[in-house]
Amino acid sequence: MRKTRNISFLLFFILVCSLPQYLKAQDKKEIAQLSILCKSWGLLKYYHPGIATGKMDWDSVLISSLDRLSKSKTNQQVNIEVEKMLKLAGKDTEAPYLPEENAALHTRNLDHKWIGSNTDLNGANRQALDFITRHPYRGLNFYAQPNPDNDSTIYTPNEKPYREMLFPTVHYRLLGLFRFWNVINYFYPYKYAIGRPWDSVLNELIPPLINAKDTVSYHRALARMAASINDSHGGLWPQVFDTFTGKYSPSFDFRIIGHKAVVVRMESANPHSSIKTGSVIEAMDGVPLKRKIKAYWDYIPASNKGGKIKNMHYLLLNSKSKTATLSGYQPSGEKFEAVVDLKERDLLEDYKNFFEMESAITYRMLEDSIGYVFFSNINKKNIDSIMQPLMHTKAIIFDMRNYPTNGTGTYRTPEYLLAEPKIYSRLTRPNFSLPGTFKFEIANKGTAYSQVGKSNPNFYQGKIILLVDSRTQSAAEWACMTLKTAENVTVLGSQTAGADGNVTRTVLPGGYRINFSGLGIYYPNGYETQRIGIHVDIPVSYTINDVINKTDPLLKRALEFINL
């Protein structure tokens, strides 16, 4: 056993040490040239009428340019390639862009400064590219269109998937990166909130894509790419973690608290195993979980720290072996070390059960006229029977640590809480007339869902508490926004996932689909929820003892607050 643990530790040490280093250090000049090629190719793809109409195989043009650039010994090759692209595109005949009258536009994502500030571009190319930025194509773009089935988010139906390329050649790997970088650059509503300059991210992602030597290293590079936008809606499908973390994991469910894994549910009782409900795991095969979390951090797509930790459950206890040695301590404090069997698990399938996001409770009365509602269990048939008995309570606690699968609770519950209808959200959607800008409007404009609530003189007047944590994501955060239109609402718990807006995706070589939030979601006053999450009024976090003893510190604190 000791020999196996030493080998595992050595392999893991190699993985950790190699993360910030690449097999071949790329020359800064090479990265700069590839960056120019990426941006020029993307600008023409979305702005120039000769390319945006799809009359040319723009992928093949890039592949040829990359091939010539890689073989060239002159620093001027990138200008030669940009000039060739411009000639292939032809004359830009579009009229100058004039903003729509009275249109509210978000322009903070729009950034073409790279053209004028880039000393590696010659004057003629800078002038031509700058002209294109001011004369964008107005018609239906072949590569980027409003999605008719997903609320006008970005839709990329004509990107070739190259499914046969399980491990693409270096030029096609760069093609995938350039596709992704430009879609985010022009159509991701939260580019400004990523946390780092998007230009810098491109420069960081080029070396691992170039230096990928096999499918495993390609998957690592793809995972880093998907995580680079810091979006809990982000990710890659099919997921690629298994290739470098292993596909086998324990049969028990656990929570990550303080860099440790606390067992919360066993698949079946085994009296001969040291691992039981309440066991606290500190290390796997001799590697501290804290070190594993640090090693995997940059591969996890999430908007904030809480989201990273939640998504870390997908791979933290994974292994390429069917057994693992787990070590830690029991609730009594007694140390243990145990060899456990591992199996293949689909945590996407087990998601709600794994994170305890389902409940047999719809609503119940708690102590002294306090109602509790498990929000995702509200539906059309039961909403009246839930809310009517609660209308004269002194407080209602809505548990939002779940995922509403229908809009009944989200849009109808405020009818009981408000005296009159209210706007609950504004949003931004892509402005396809000038990629990189976004139209700012009331959410669900022109529909019955643009406001919540109704004229109701008998609206609820007690305290309203929302319980939230990292499980409160997307539709659950959206529901919190509709509920927060009421008076006397207090949000209690820890940071929510910080990912709102319809999920959209584009395609990369190998048939991979990369996800991101397609709409920008904001409070009525313009404040965002992306990365930040729903504002928490009373912070409460979980401890290891809470998990072991199955106590709910959020509910406990809510009751204390109500009874003040």
pLDDT given for residue 18 in this prediction: 41
pLDDT given for residue 183 in this prediction: 98
The residues of the chain that CATH labels 2.30.42.10 are 244-347
- The structure's pTM equals 0.92
99-117+145-231+348-564 CATH: 3.90.226.10
pLDDT given for residue 272 in this prediction: 65
pLDDT given for residue 54 in this prediction: 97
User: Which of the residue ranges 60-74, 261-275, 391-405, 513-527 would you say has the lowest mean pLDDT?
Assistant: 261-275
pLDDT given for residue 203 in this prediction: 97
Peptide bond connecting 238 to the previous residue in cis, omega within 30 degrees of 0: yes
Q: What is the full DSSP assignment across 200-223?
A: HHHHHHHHHHHH--SHHHHHHHHH
Residue 410 pLDDT > 70 = yes
The residues of the chain that CATH labels 3.90.226.10 are 99-117+145-231+348-564
Residue with structure tokens 């340019």?
65
Residue 100 pLDDT > 90 = no
The arithmetic mean of pLDDT across residues 537-558, rounded, is 97
The arithmetic mean of pLDDT across residues 60-74, rounded, is 96
The arithmetic mean of pLDDT across residues 101-117, rounded, is 89
User: Higher model confidence: residue 267 or residue 473?
Assistant: 473
pLDDT in tens, 143-157: 999 998 877 789 999
Do the beta carbons of residue 537 and residue 522 sit within 8 Å? no
Residue 347 pLDDT > 90 = no
Question: Residue 500: which residues within 8 A CB-CB, separation 6 or more?
Answer: 474, 477, 478, 517, 521, 529, 530
pLDDT in tens, 358-397: 999 999 999 889 999 999 999 999 999 999 999 999 999 9
Q: What is the full DSSP assignment across 329-357?
A: E-TTS-EEEEEEE-EE--TTTTHHHHTT-
Structure tokens at 293: 């979390």
The arithmetic mean of pLDDT across residues 522-540, rounded, is 95
DSSP 3-state of 375: helix
Quick one: CA dihedral 60, 64, 69, 74, positive or negative?
negative
Do the beta carbons of residue 145 and residue 158 sit within 8 Å? no
pLDDT in tens, 75-94: 899 999 999 999 999 999 99
Residue 7 pLDDT > 50 = no
Average pLDDT score over the chain:
93
Classify 244-347 by CATH class: mainly beta
Cα separation, 267 vs 253, in Å, equals 8
Residue with structure tokens 């830009």?
92
